[in-house]
Amino acid sequence: MHPIKVKNNYLSLLLIAILGPVLTFASCSEKGGSDLPPAPTPKPQGPPTDKGWTFETAPVWADEFDYSGVPNPAKWGYDIGGDGWGNNELQYYTNSDKNAKVADGKLTITARKESTNGREYSSARLVSKGKGDFLYGRFEIKAKLPTGKGTWPAIWMLPTDWAYGGWPKSGEIDIMEHVGYDQNNVHITVHTEAYNHALNTQKGNSRIIPTASTAFHVYRIDWTPYAIKGYIDDELVMTFVNEGKGSAVWPFNKQFHLLMNIAVGGNWGGAQGVDPSVYPQAMEIDYVRVYKMIEK
């Protein structure tokens, strides 16, 4: 029996000699010992670099309105209803061709003074959601605006999936906005959680266009990871740069879709009242073109 006992003791000592350093290293590693390199400190997010993105020369999505009848259902849907749309607006939005119709090479959106589902006015709000959703690009719309106190036309963009939450957390891009009581003063604006009109911190600019309601003008935004830039007739009006501070400031890394409408009255459009005698009023759109951003 003694030889066996001596052999077992010898094996135990041998195992301790071999495994001791390994167990010691593992124990130190579990406690964050100095044998392991320290974990890298995360770098704070910063603004992206302007890579000088450009855009394709042929549209990736467009409507030239070179047909007659209702707006192309493959490209446009409708927001329908008359609950004030969060702005105390007076119109009821329909999908009727009396409010949105294509003829003579252009789309005409018409706001009318007529009783519609309990509202005094009717109009239309076209949306490309589910039919034209985009992340970055050049968006160009040639349009002639309505006039008269109480009109509030807009060509704009909203998030398709609202990934960061309800308005304004997921953002809004106003390519063109105009109110009839401030004739010819055309606005380009963005809204985010940090920068929005509810806080009076919205980011944008405006330009006097003397013929906004008598001639067609080209309203455009160039949207890249670096900035959103707004133009009227190819003249830069507004620049909003990505500050690199997260979605509260820059929620514009998700898909957005287009909207075109005429509201009646509301918090802004009706700030100086509504003149019912000016209706019907129309916004005419010659074309809508979207150009893909070229990746770099």
Helix or strand holding residue 182 (H, E):
none
Rounded distance, CA 176 to CA 164, Å?
A: 24
**Single-letter amino acid code for the residue at 86:** G
Report DSSP letters for 188-236, one per residue. Answer: EEEE-SSS-TTTT--EEEEEE-TTTTTS-EEEEEEE-SSEEEEEETTEE
Supply 193's token pair: 């959680």
Q: Which of 177, 193, 284, 295 is catalytic?
A: 177
Residue 172 falls in the annotated catalytic set: yes
Residue 177 falls in the annotated catalytic set: yes
Q: Which residues of 117-149 are buried (b: 16+ CB within 10 A; e: fewer)?
A: eebbbbbbbbbbbeebbbebbbbbbbbbbbbbb
Rounded distance, CA 242 to CA 50, Å?
A: 10
Q: Which of 172, 193, 235, 243 is catalytic?
A: 172
CB 285 within 8 A of CB 76: no
Instruction: Give the SS3 label for residue 255.
Output: coil
**Single-letter amino acid code for the residue at 39:** A
Instruction: Give the gyration radius of the chain's Cα atoms.
Output: 30
Q: Which residues have a catalytic role annotated? A: 172, 177
